[in-house]
A and B are shown apart, each in its own frame.
Chain A
Amino acid sequence: MNKISINRFKDKAFMVFGVFCTFFGLFMLAIFVGDVVLKGVDRISWEFITNLPSRFPEKAGIFTALMGTCWILFLTAIIAIPLGVFAGLYLEEYGKRNRFAAILEINITNLAGIPSIIYGLLGLEIFARVMGLGQSVLTGALTLSLLILPIIIVSTRESVRAVPRSLREASLALGATKWQTIWYQVLPASGGGILTGVILALSRAVGEAAPLIVVGALAYVPFAPSTPLDEFSVLPIQIYNWASRPQQGFVINAAAAIVILLIVTFLMNGIAIYFRNKWQKKIKW
């Protein structure tokens, strides 16, 4: 073989390696998911979903953890969505060129890079102790809201930026004020993009365990929370607790709970992608 054909061969070989690498991660994930489904799917039943926690693996269920996750999802959504969307609107529409906005911008980029467990320490000190909310669902939801705030702000800004000038100018020309233009034209036009970002952010919140462990969510809670000030657990913490036990029965429970958590996560991501595609197709500026 001469040098040229060696180089061509290397080129082809790298292409094969490239395909291999592209699918390597997905292949690993497929193995993991297959393994967890095989282990856990028989365990999933109506009782598994509605049973309270128990010392006996075959009697234990995820009811309290699932309810905790629903509470967290609901409260985080009503705290983080308005805060994030309004902050994003301000930064994109009003605070373009002043110093205050520049500081905010640098700050948000930095916030997005802070590990989630640090937010847990913040929640523990500020919400649980100083504000006296204790180890409640509300403390957990406030903590996660702060965690996902940068994601919502960034996606709001990107969606709002994509709305064309012509739309704003048409509205302003008809005599609408700046805020009326934002509220009646810009916000509806960018709704799809904002919604996508919000769902992805909430899906991240559903999977978080570390900050909630730090603020004091418990591995064992006898009852589902009935008010925002009750103690709580969530699915990821329940999984962590079961996965850390030596008995095989609990490991199987963990697998079953993972199947349910993955269904929730993939469903939320799927919905987000669906909205993104639909929104992109509907509006061609």
Chain B
Amino acid sequence: MKIPEKVIVSFLALCAAMTVLITAGILYTLGAETIQFFNEVSLVDFLTDTQWTPLFSDKHFGILPLLTGTILTSFIAIFFALPIGLTIAVYMNEYAPSSFSTRIKPILEILAAVPTVVYGYFALTVVTPFLQNFIPSLSSFNALSAGFVMGIMIIPLISSLSQDALYAVPKSLREASYGLGATRLQTSFNVLVPAASSGIIVSVILAISRAVGETMIVAIAAGMQPNMTLDPTVPIQTITTYIVQISMGDVPHGSLEYRTIFAAGISLFVLTFTLNNLSFWFKKKYQQKYE
């Protein structure tokens, strides 16, 4: 039997159109449940209340503690990953022989391929006990270990995108710097890194977005207590872990508790959506600077 080519093409287009349906589905799902949520909880409370206690009898629905927890763990992750990732990028681009770079790059990618639940286990059973030797007051669930391990996970993201950005800097700039007698280090940090700064910023924004949405590492190692604090040694809760916590329990559909996970979800969605589009905007705006 011969299927007319038009039918095949329409079928392919249908498959491609599925991706739009996914976005529509996400927006519909988050939107519909969140609207119901805000029928019961005021938006002002949601954005300004400093307590998040939907499971207690004295209910408070302030997203700020969860947001603080999310930002804290992400910040710690970037704090470790940015210097290491950027150093790797500079080293690979300017120092290492290209045969070494091409061979080590896929090996570094392994760091991003390890399942996150495994990283969570490491943070809880290896990193936290080790850090407790130096910080005796460190709680067994804390933002520090979770953030640190998350940082290791996002090293390849920062290093490979930054390396691409450094590589794209025109040769003439480097050669001018070397011609003036600068060392590789001076050329890298005084010429290449500033010239590639927009690409490096893009890599950092994407890394933050990745860290914000990370779930299992924080669920295992950072605890489930929505404390509004910037202290990295105590248990906290992120937006993602709250969703996990509720999903693990038996929450009846249609209840206010059920709707809280969608309200938390839409906050997370808005956050990552903004970050991702900020990075696209940055990329577009600065891409053609040297062409």
Binding site for B on A (CB under 8 A): 7-8, 10-11, 14-15, 17-19, 21-22, 24-26, 28-29, 31-32, 35-36, 82-83, 86-87, 89-91, 94-95, 100-101, 103-104, 107-111, 113-122, 124-126, 129, 146, 149-150, 153, 177-179, 200, 203-204, 206-210, 213-214, 216, 219, 236-237, 239-240, 243-244, 251, 254-255, 258, 261-262, 265-266, 269, 273
Complex: chain A residue closest to B92, CB-CB: A22
Q: How far is the CA of A209 from the CA of B32 in the complex (A)?
A: 25
The distance from the CB of A161 to the nearest CB of chain B, in whole angstroms, is 16
B44 is an interface residue with CB less than 8 A from chain A = no
**Residues 110 to 147 of chain B near chain A (Cβ within 8 Å):** 110-111, 113-118, 120-122, 124-126
> What is the predominant secondary structure among interface residues of chain B facing chain A?
helix
Contact A150 B248 (CB under 8 A): no
The distance from the CB of B97 to the nearest CB of chain A, in whole angstroms, is 12
Q: How far is the CA of A107 from the CA of B21 in the complex (A)?
A: 10
Contact A11 B125 (CB under 8 A): no
Known contacts A35-B126, A94-B13, A117-B240; decide if A26 and B107 are in contact (CB<8 Å): yes
Give the top 10 A-B pairs by smallest Cβ distance, nearest first. A115-B213, A18-B91, A207-B115, A90-B12, A210-B215, A86-B15, A113-B276, A11-B183, A87-B16, A125-B29
Using A111-B22, A113-B273 as known contacts, list a sample of 10 further A-B pairs with CB atoms less than 8 Å apart, ordered by residue number in A.
Answer: A7-B185, A22-B92, A25-B152, A107-B23, A114-B213, A125-B29, A209-B116, A214-B243, A254-B121, A258-B121
Contact A117 B152 (CB under 8 A): no
Q: How far is the CA of A103 from the CA of B212 in the complex (A)?
A: 26
Complex: chain A residue closest to B109, CB-CB: A269
Contact B183 A22 (CB under 8 A): no
Chain B positions 230 through 272: 1 when the CB is less than 8 Å from some CB of chain A, otherwise 0: 0000000000100110011000010000000110010011001
B19 is an interface residue with CB less than 8 A from chain A = yes
Q: Could you list 7 A-B pairs, sorted by A, with CB under 8 Å?
A: A22-B96, A35-B126, A104-B17, A118-B213, A213-B248, A236-B117, A243-B125
The distance from the CB of B106 to the nearest CB of chain A, in whole angstroms, is 6
Contact B26 A114 (CB under 8 A): yes
The distance from the CB of A62 to the nearest CB of chain B, in whole angstroms, is 14
Known contacts A18-B96, A87-B16; decide if A111 and B23 are in contact (CB<8 Å): yes
Known contacts A87-B15, A95-B13, A261-B115; decide if A240 and B120 are in contact (CB<8 Å): yes
Chain B residues whose C-beta falls within 8 Å of the C-beta of A200 in the assembled complex: 113
Q: Bin chain B's interface residue count.
A: 35 or more
Chain A residues whose C-beta falls within 8 Å of the C-beta of B155 in the assembled complex: 25
Contact B5 A219 (CB under 8 A): no
Contact A115 B95 (CB under 8 A): no
Contact B91 A90 (CB under 8 A): no
Contact A117 B125 (CB under 8 A): no
Chain B residues whose C-beta falls within 8 Å of the C-beta of A273 in the assembled complex: 106
* Chain A binder among B45-53, B57-65, B82-90: B82-90
Contact B16 A22 (CB under 8 A): no
Q: How far is the CA of A21 from the CA of B152 in the complex (A)?
A: 11
Chain A residues whose C-beta falls within 8 Å of the C-beta of B273 in the assembled complex: 110, 113-114
B104 is an interface residue with CB less than 8 A from chain A = yes
Binding site for A on B (CB under 8 A): 5, 8-9, 11-13, 15-20, 22-23, 25-26, 29-30, 32-33, 83-84, 87-88, 90-92, 95-96, 104, 106-108, 110-111, 113-118, 120-122, 124-126, 152, 155-156, 183-186, 206, 209, 212-216, 219-220, 240, 243-244, 247-248, 253, 261-262, 265, 268-269, 272-273, 275-277, 280
Chain A residues whose C-beta falls within 8 Å of the C-beta of B184 in the assembled complex: 11, 14-15
Q: How far is the CA of A43 from the CA of B90 in the complex (A)?
A: 43
Contact A116 B215 (CB under 8 A): yes
Q: How far is the CA of A219 from the CA of B90 in the complex (A)?
A: 44
Contact B9 A179 (CB under 8 A): yes
Known contacts A122-B29, A210-B216; decide if A90 and B185 are in contact (CB<8 Å): no
Contact B9 A214 (CB under 8 A): no
Contact partner of A83 (CB less than 8 A), chosen from B18, B83, B91, B185, is B18
Known contacts A21-B88, A122-B26; decide if A265 and B220 are in contact (CB<8 Å): no
Complex: chain A residue closest to B17, CB-CB: A104
Contact A116 B88 (CB under 8 A): no
Chain B residues whose C-beta falls within 8 Å of the C-beta of A177 in the assembled complex: 5
Chain B residues whose C-beta falls within 8 Å of the C-beta of A203 in the assembled complex: 113
The distance from the CB of A18 to the nearest CB of chain B, in whole angstroms, is 3
Known contacts A21-B91, A25-B111, A214-B247; decide if A114 and B272 are in contact (CB<8 Å): yes
The distance from the CB of B159 to the nearest CB of chain A, in whole angstroms, is 8
Q: How far is the CA of A35 from the CA of B121 in the complex (A)?
A: 11
Contact B113 A265 (CB under 8 A): yes
The distance from the CB of A181 to the nearest CB of chain B, in whole angstroms, is 11
Contact B15 A150 (CB under 8 A): no
Contact partner of A149 (CB less than 8 A), chosen from B22, B248, B268, is B22
Known contacts A11-B185, A21-B88; decide if A90 and B16 are in contact (CB<8 Å): yes
The distance from the CB of B53 to the nearest CB of chain A, in whole angstroms, is 21
Contact A113 B219 (CB under 8 A): no
Chain A residues whose C-beta falls within 8 Å of the C-beta of B117 in the assembled complex: 207, 209, 236-237, 239-240, 243, 261
Q: How far is the CA of A31 from the CA of B213 in the complex (A)?
A: 26
Contact partner of A121 (CB less than 8 A), chosen from B122, B126, B262, is B262
Complex: chain B residue closest to A24, CB-CB: B84
